[in-house]
């Protein structure tokens, strides 16, 4: 599944780190379609884009939404950097503990601290990748920050952390680290 020079190089790196790594389209997978239905039910329809917009790590596999075909090489690179964080988290915690952290504490919807922390680690990597590919100005883009806040505080991830001011603080702290690392 060719992606472009930057993302292809990253895919090769990920395959070195995770020999069983693979990219699989979500649409034709029964489990992914079942997850899509379950998310629509649990979020009362707020998560309608699971199959079309959201990438998902299960084991060593990244399941790709339909929009993957329309992504640029740079966008794919940023996405894969984010997803590699989830692969490393799964390896660090083990599959069962990772799943429990992601799916349960404190509540599955509305205040899921475990999921928020797991996603925050990956979205901090998203900011680093954006800064690397497009420059720090792109990582500082208010539209990107609004998107990140929406991911945490909306039904996209089940309202996992409905405190926009905390999310904005996380963004500011991540940007300060990125800029400090570049100095």
Which residues partner with 58 through β-bridges?
Answer: 61
Segment 90-145, tens digit of pLDDT: 999 999 999 888 887 555 566 788 899 999 999 999 999 999 999 999 999 999 99
Band (58; pLDDT cuts 50, 70, 90): very high
In angstroms, the CA 109 to CA 43 distance is: 8
Q: How many CB atoms lie within 10 A of CB 61?
A: 16
- Provide the pLDDT for residue 103: 81
- Provide the pLDDT for residue 2: 55
Q: Is the pTM of this model over 0.85?
A: yes
In our burial notation (b when 16+ CB lie closer than 10 A, e otherwise), range 144-154 reads bbeebbebbbe
């Amino acid at each position: 599944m060719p992606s472009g020079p930057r993302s292809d190089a990253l895919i090769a790196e990920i395959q070195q780190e995770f020999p069983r790594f693979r990219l699989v389209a979500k649409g034709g997978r029964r489990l992914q379609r079942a997850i899509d239905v379950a998310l629509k039910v649990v979020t009362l329809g707020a998560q309608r884009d699971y199959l079309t917009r959201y990438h998902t790590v299960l084991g060593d596999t990244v399941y790709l939404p339909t929009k993957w075909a329309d992504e640029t090489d740079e966008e794919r690179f940023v996405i894969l950097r984010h997803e590699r964080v989830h692969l490393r988290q799964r390896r660090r915690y083990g599959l069962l503990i990772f799943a429990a952290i992601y799916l349960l504490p404190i509540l599955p919807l509305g205040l899921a601290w475990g999921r928020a922390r797991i996603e925050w680690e990956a979205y901090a990597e998203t900011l680093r990748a954006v800064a690397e590919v497009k420059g720090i100005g792109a990582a500082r883009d208010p539209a990107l920050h609004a998107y990140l806040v929406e991911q945490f505080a909306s039904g996209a991830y089940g309202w996992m952390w409905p405190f926009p001011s905390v999310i904005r603080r996380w963004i500011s702290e991540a940007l300060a680290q990125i800029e400090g690392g570049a100095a």
